[in-house]
Every structure is written in C-alpha cells, then in structure tokens.
C-alpha cells in the first residue's frame, strides 16, 4: 500500500481496494503502519538515503524499509523482531536477493541512530516531514506559528463527536459515554472531544443516529451559516454528508445536497438515514446549475469547496506527498468558478458560506478577495460564531477556513 501511494495512488483508494479484495489483515495494523509511515515519509526516506551504500532500484523494497523504520521508531516492537520480520518479508515478497540489503540498512540505523539524527535535522523535509514548498508557504504566511502547524500535521488527529440533539441531549449522551468508560470534554454546542480515540462500534447509540464523528473545526460550518427554520439551504459539495447532517440537526430547513460522485452520494444518503434526516440528494456538478437548479433561490448556501486539504493532512498523510505546489493555484481557480456559479442561485439577502479545510491563503482570503472584487453587491460579513476566519490545526481541531458573504436585498 505504501509503495502504491509513493507511486501516486491515494491512501483512501488503497483502503477501498483492501476492503473490496477482503484481505485478511487487521485494519488497525494497516492504519498504524500505513499512516504512521506516511506521516514520517520525509524522515524515513532520508534515513534510507543516508544508510544505503547503493540504491535498491526496487520500489517495493524501499517501501518495506520505510515501514520497518517507522516500526522501529514507534517503540511498539522489539528491535530484533522488526529486523527479523523485515528480512523474512523479503521472501514473502519474492525479493530474496534483498534480504542482505534490508538487514544491513536496518542494523545500520540501530547502530548509527545518534549521528543520523544530526544529519536529518539539517534536511527540512526530513526534519519537518513535509514537502519543502509546503514548509515555505507556512513560514511565509504564519511566521512563528509555522513550526507548531508542521508539528500538528504529523500528529495523530483528535477524535471529536457531534451529538444529534434531535435525539439526545449533549449532557445525557456524555453520561452514556462515561458509563461506557469513554472520557470526553465539551468543546461547545454539540461537540465532544474524546480523550482517546475509540472504534465507532464502541460509541453508544451510533447506529441509532445519536452521534456522528466530526471534527470540531468542521462543526463550525453549521454555526456560521446563520440558519433558521423554513429556509431553503444548499450544500453544494456535500458528500460524505457530515455538514449536511449537522445543518438538518440544527434547523428545520429544506436541504438540497449535491455531489458529483455517485458513490459518495450513496454514502451521504446512508448517513442521513442513520441520523433520521431527510434531504434532496442529487448527483450533480454544482458549477452547472442548469442541470439541477429548479429556479427557486436558496436562502443559505454552503460551498465546502475542493481544496488542498492542507488543514487536515494528519488525517490523510499521503496528501502532503501527493500534492504539488501548482495544485494550489489549480484549486484556487476551481474555487473561484464554484463561487461564481453558486452566486447565481443565491436569493436576495441570502448568505453564502465559503469553506475549505486548507491553511493556504491562496485558497482562502485570496479567493474571497478576488470574488468580492469582481462581484457587484457581494459583501463579506462577520462570522456568527465570532471566531477568526482561519482556524489552525491544534490538539483539539483541524484547520478550517470560513468566509460568509451576503447578497444584496
């Protein structure tokens, strides 16, 4: 899986492949090794480069070394076990000639750990485990905060819940969690932050729609949409449906949820059924209103646009290495097109909430400023929750950006 990601596949697609092929491998072990290795991708690559007397020329062997180095540094396994299993894995992978090479690199790492660390610290990609261009954007934009953001991008993400107050009170559900031995604390409104992540099977009432897993940063969308009963609301890039569900839990609105991907629309519908909520779900490209718009303007629009996902990279550690610097410019162009299209279906005095899970200003303030400059009458208004537009990733939440724009009456 790691070798495929290094060649350009997405980690999510790899997990879908594993599920389809029904491979008999514990999912927890796969998540640990793949996500852990890819979070340290810059580091483990640098270690192999420093220790190799020759290039292996074999991408699968390289990936085996990266995973093995992560396992050694994780502290979960005895050193001799990792080395032994890695050498034996060469046989399972039919790479018998690589046994000596793998053994030498891993033993070299154990022997030269101290001196290696000094060399690694001099390499920004190895030290911060992010691409150089990504590091430069954060340092230019956030200055002193950049190092903390890079560190957050390599951390394990927090697990936050959103309580469905149509089915259970927040305090009541928190009590259920406590009885199940799951410690939490409130983050405001419906958000409960778990002290330690747990499988969703352990969450009381999950199948009954009492709770959803949703980052606290993502939950800001419903806070900032300025919802009221009776409104017509559009979630323009809706799947897998977390924000759609939250909107319907918050207010009695007529919701239209769009997504261009058929499989993701199915997931969205299943999620709404679990929550006991109803919306019009349509497979459609939001930039082509003629194909889905019924002519009745919307009071509120959520434009949760495709983006670099730089604010949630710790949840998708492959993103850092699959993205390229020019992708950010391409995303910004697409985001501008989406705004222009959705503005056409927003009613007078309506509000559009622009949202990204990015921390790159090229996708955020720059896109909004350009839209306002070319759109007569569009006015940016304060966010109802009073928080800053750009939320940064930290121990409690991921990095999300929100901007609320009002159309003249």
Active site residue 265: no
Please say whether the beta carbons of 396 and 354 come within 8 A: no
Mean pLDDT value across residues 3-24: 86
* pLDDT (tens digit per residue) in 262-305: 989 999 999 999 999 999 999 999 999 999 999 999 999 999 99
- Compare 115 and 350 and report the one with higher pLDDT: 350
Mean pLDDT value across residues 177-190: 95
Tell me the domain boundaries of the chain. 2-127, 159-214, 216-406
Structure tokens at 252: 């009695």
Q: What is the CATH number of domain 216-406?
A: 3.40.50.150
- Distances in Å between the Cα of 174 and the Cα atoms of 32, 171, 271, 337 are 28, 5, 22, 42
Please say whether the beta carbons of 351 and 300 come within 8 A: yes
Smallest Cα–Cα separation from 161: which of 131, 124, 198, 128?
Answer: 198
Give me the phi and psi of 259, to 5 degrees please: -155, 145
Smallest Cα–Cα separation from 71: which of 115, 102, 114?
Answer: 102
Rounded Cα distance between 364 and 401, Å, is 7
pLDDT of residue 7: 93
Strand-pairing partners, residue 390, are: 401
- In terms of DSSP bridges, do strands 254-259 and 232-235 run parallel, antiparallel, or are they unpaired? parallel
| Residues of the chain above pLDDT 90, percent | 89
pLDDT at 408 over 80: yes
pLDDT of residue 390: 98
| Residues of the chain above pLDDT 70, percent | 99
Mean pLDDT, the chain, rounded, equals: 94
* pLDDT (tens digit per residue) in 24-75: 778 888 899 999 999 999 999 999 999 987 666 899 999 999 999 999 999 9
pLDDT of residue 56: 64
Cβ burial of 342 (10 Å; 0-12, 13-18, 19+) is: buried
Out of 3.30.70.1170, 3.30.1330.60, 3.40.1350.10, 1.20.1600.10, the CATH code matching 159-214 is 3.30.70.1170
Q: Is it true that 2-127 and 159-214 share their CATH fold?
A: no
Place of tokens 């911060």: 128
pLDDT at 205 over 90: yes
Cα 247 from chain centroid (whole Å): 20
Name the band, by pLDDT with cuts 50, 70 and 90, for residue 174.
very high
pLDDT of residue 120: 87
Smallest Cα–Cα separation from 355: which of 346, 344, 368, 345?
Answer: 368
Give one DSSP letter per residue of 92-122, joined into a string: HTT-GGGHHHHHHHHHHHHHHHHHHHHHHHT
Please say whether the beta carbons of 404 and 301 come within 8 A: no
* pLDDT (tens digit per residue) in 369-398: 999 999 999 999 999 999 999 999 999 999
CATH superfamily, domain 2-127, is: NusB-like (1.10.940.10)
* pLDDT (tens digit per residue) in 291-346: 999 999 999 999 999 999 999 999 999 999 999 999 999 999 999 999 999 999 99
Please say whether the beta carbons of 334 and 310 come within 8 A: no
**Given CA atoms 122, 128, 131, 132 in this order, what sign does their dihedral have?**
negative
Structure tokens at 19: 């599920």
* pLDDT (tens digit per residue) in 97-127: 999 999 999 999 999 998 898 888 889 999 9
Rounded to 10 deg, the angle between the 146-153 and 132-142 helix axes is 140
Given 160, 265, 307, 357, which residue is catalytic? 357
Please say whether the beta carbons of 27 and 35 come within 8 A: no
Say what the alpha-carbon torsion angle 205, 207, 208, 213 is, to the nearest 10 degrees.
Answer: 70
């Amino acid at each position: 899986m790691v070798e495929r990601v290094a060649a350009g596949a997405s980690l999510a697609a790899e997990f879908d492949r594993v599920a389809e092929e029904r491979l008999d491998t514990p999912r927890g072990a796969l998540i640990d090794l793949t996500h852990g290795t890819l979070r340290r991708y810059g580091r483990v690559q640098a270690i192999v480069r420093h220790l190799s007397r020759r290039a292996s020329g074999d991408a699968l062997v390289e990936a085996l070394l990266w995973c093995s180095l992560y396992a050694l540094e994780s502290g979960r396994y005895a050193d001799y076990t990792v080395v032994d299993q890695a050498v034996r894995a060469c046989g399972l992978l039919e790479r018998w000639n690589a046994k000596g090479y793998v053994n030498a690199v891993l033993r070299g790492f154990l022997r030269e750990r101290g001196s290696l660390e000094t060399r690694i610290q001099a390499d920004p990609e190895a030290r911060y485990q992010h691409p150089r261009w990504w590091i430069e954007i954060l340092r230019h934009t956030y200055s002193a905060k950049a190092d903390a953001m890079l560190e957050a991008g390599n951390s394990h993400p927090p697990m936050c819940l959103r309580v469905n107050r149509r089915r259970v009170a927040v305090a009541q559900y928190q009590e259920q969690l406590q009885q199940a031995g799951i410690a939490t604390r409130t983050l405001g409104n419906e958000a409960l932050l778990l002290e330690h992540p747990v499988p969703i099977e352990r969450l009381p009432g999950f199948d009954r729609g009492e709770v959803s897993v949703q980052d606290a940063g993502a939950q800001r969308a419903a806070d900032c949409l300025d919802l009221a009963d009776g409104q017509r609301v559009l979630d323009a890039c809706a799947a897998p449906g977390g924000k759609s569900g939250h909107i319907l839990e918050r207010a009695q609105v007529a919701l239209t949820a769009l997504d261009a991907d058929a499989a993701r629309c199915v997931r969205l519908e299943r999620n709404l059924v679990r929550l006991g909520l109803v919306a019009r779900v349509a497979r459609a490209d939001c930039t082509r209103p003629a194909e889905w718009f019924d002519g009745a303007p919307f009071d509120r629009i959520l434009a949760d646009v495709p983006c670099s996902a730089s604010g949630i990279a710790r949840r998708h550690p492959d993103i850092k290495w699959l993205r390229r610097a020019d992708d950010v410019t391409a995303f910004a162009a697409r985001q501008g097109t989406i705004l222009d299209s959705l503005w056409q279906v927003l009613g007078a005095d309506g509000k559009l909430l622009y949202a990204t899970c990015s921390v790159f200003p090229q996708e955020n303030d720059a896109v909004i400023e350009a839209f306002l400059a070319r759109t007569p009458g569009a006015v940016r208004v304060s966010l109802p929750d009073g928080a800053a537009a750009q939320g940064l990733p930290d121990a409690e939440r991921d990095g999300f950006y929100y901007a609320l724009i009002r159309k003249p009456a």
